[in-house]
Amino acid sequence: MKILLLGSGELGKEFVIAAQRIGQTIIAVDSYENAPAMQVAHDFEVINMLDGEALDRIVAKHKPDFIVPEIEAIRTERFYDYEKQGITVVPSAKAANFTMNRKAIRDLASKELGLKTAKYQYATSAEELQKAVKEVGIPCVVKPLMSSSGKGQSTIKTESDIEKAWQYAVAGSRGDVIEVIVEAFVDFHSEITLLTITQNNNPTLFCAPIGHRQERGDYQESWQPALVSEKDLYEAQDMAEKITEALGGAGLFGVEFFLTKEGVYFSELSPRPHDTGMVTLAGTQNFNEFELHLRAILSLPIFEITLEKAGASAVILASEDSANPTFTGIENVAALAKTDFRIFGKPTSRPYRRMGVVLSYDTLSTPINEITERAKETAKLITVNS
């Protein structure tokens, strides 16, 4: 099969490797050359994926069987047409289109499906944001409708933060929409990603929950399995099943939840492998999240997902801008037992850019916080030099 991968970061790279292993053909696309997934694909294209005409051009040129989005900021409105042309958009044109913009997915979850979410409002100017904040209450979180990995996201703690939050959101917005969502701050005790796999002719499957810790809206460590009460897990699975069914198609989704004393809140979802799901690269499961996405897409039945080990991932971040980043300390990480790592091969660095990940694992009876602490300490052994 021919797969057009839209977005070629670290998640795409692992997906391509999984696809190469079972003989698929991949064209990797991104806005810059030598992106991680391009380094392992058959062919590549460099375009602005928000440009519908540029997308049309490469779809017509390559005539793929599948279009697999890897990021959110794509002119996803075009996907409905590609579906009509007989191309399978993964997991579906609707799923990619609804999750490109926080408004569509939040209204679907909250208004249409009745899932429990933080109280929220939208705003298209600093003045509207003032009103929205009054409505939602302080503290609250402001995010551009189009952004990911926490870009443009900030927390309002006092009224004087509102103007700053607006400016920051506008500057961090990825797409061409200048609008924000304001959400009441959810005082959660933990947050999880529930990897949910929908299949064409088989039932929906769930991976063991993944716990994670975020800073600046971006993940720092993730671990699997997360300790979640049976009641919370059931609630999360029920919500994940409802929303993935409403979005349609086959593939792996990363469904994010906040766990609180008052129960489980739906936060958002990615209709594709999730960054926190990189923990599955530690061999925690019989199939990692990229292999699961691929199998679901190709309608290869997934009989069961088994939890084999406990594991954790911790990010390796750059601290400076560089056109030629290099790494030191890798040999110290390599020397450790029950440890692995990935360096993504991003051609340039900037402050806080995720450049790699350290993976730790152990038996299922090992306390998960010990493994997570080990991953976190181990990641500090690697430095990104500019």
Taking CB under 6 A as the criterion, which residues in 194-223 touch ligand ATP?
A: 214, 217-218
Q: Is 346 annotated as a binding residue?
A: yes
Q: Does 179 bind ligand ATP (CB under 6 A)?
A: no
Return the biggest CA–CA distance within the chain.
56
At residue 35, the 3 state secondary structure works out as coil
Closest CA to 282 of 219, 374, 190: 374
Contacts of residue 24, Cβ cutoff 8 Å, sequence gap at least 6: 1, 2, 3, 294, 298
Q: Does 150 bind ligand ATP (CB under 6 A)?
A: yes
Q: Does 254 bind ligand GAR (CB under 6 A)?
A: no
Nearer to ligand ATP, 18 or 186 (CB): 186
Q: Does 153 bind ligand GAR (CB under 6 A)?
A: no
Nearer to ligand ATP, 88 or 148 (CB): 148
Site mask, ligand ATP, residues 222-261, x = CB under 6 A? ----------------------------------x-----
Nearer to ligand GAR, 121 or 290 (CB): 290
Q: Which helix (H) or strand (E) holds 259?
A: strand 251-260
Taking CB under 6 A as the criterion, which residues in 340-369 touch ligand ATP?
A: none
Q: Is 360 annotated as a binding residue?
A: no
Q: Is 354 annotated as a binding residue?
A: yes
Nearer to ligand GAR, 102 or 235 (CB): 102
Contacts of residue 326, Cβ cutoff 8 Å, sequence gap at least 6: 384, 385
Q: Going by DSSP bridges, is the β-strand pair 25-30/43-46 parallel, antiparallel, or unpaired?
A: parallel
Residue 211 carries which side chain, given as an amino acid letter? G
Helical segments of 101-161, H only: 102-107, 126-136
Contact between 37 and 13 under an 8 Å Cβ cutoff? The reply is yes
Gap between the terminal Cα atoms of the chain: 40
At residue 158, the 3 state secondary structure works out as coil
Catalytically active residues are: 148, 150, 256, 268, 275-276, 354
Distance CA(141)–CA(217), nearest Å, equals: 10
Nearer to ligand GAR, 106 or 346 (CB): 346
At residue 119, the 3 state secondary structure works out as coil
Residue 234 carries which side chain, given as an amino acid letter? Y
Query: Contact region for ligand GAR (CB under 6 A) — 2-10, 47-55, 279-287, 368-376?
Result: 2-10
How many other CB atoms are there within 10 angstroms of residue 100's CB atom? 27
Of 186, 228, 250, 355, which one interacts with ligand ATP (CB under 6 A)? 186
Angstrom CA distances, 252 to 1, 162, 196, 245, 320, stand at 19, 36, 6, 12, 33
Contact between 152 and 177 under an 8 Å Cβ cutoff? The reply is no
Nearer to ligand ATP, 87 or 278 (CB): 278
Contact between 309 and 284 under an 8 Å Cβ cutoff? The reply is yes
Q: Is 153 annotated as a binding residue?
A: yes
Of 174, 293, 309, 353, which one interacts with ligand GAR (CB under 6 A)? 353
Site mask, ligand GAR, residues 10-39, x = CB under 6 A? xxx---------------------------
Q: Which residues bind ligand GAR (CB under 6 A)?
A: 7, 9-12, 70-71, 148-149, 275, 346, 353-354
Q: Which residues bind ligand ATP (CB under 6 A)?
A: 118, 141, 143, 147-150, 153, 183, 185-186, 191, 214, 217-218, 256, 267-268, 275
Binding site feature residues? 10-11, 70, 102, 143, 148-153, 183-186, 191, 256, 268, 275, 346, 353-354
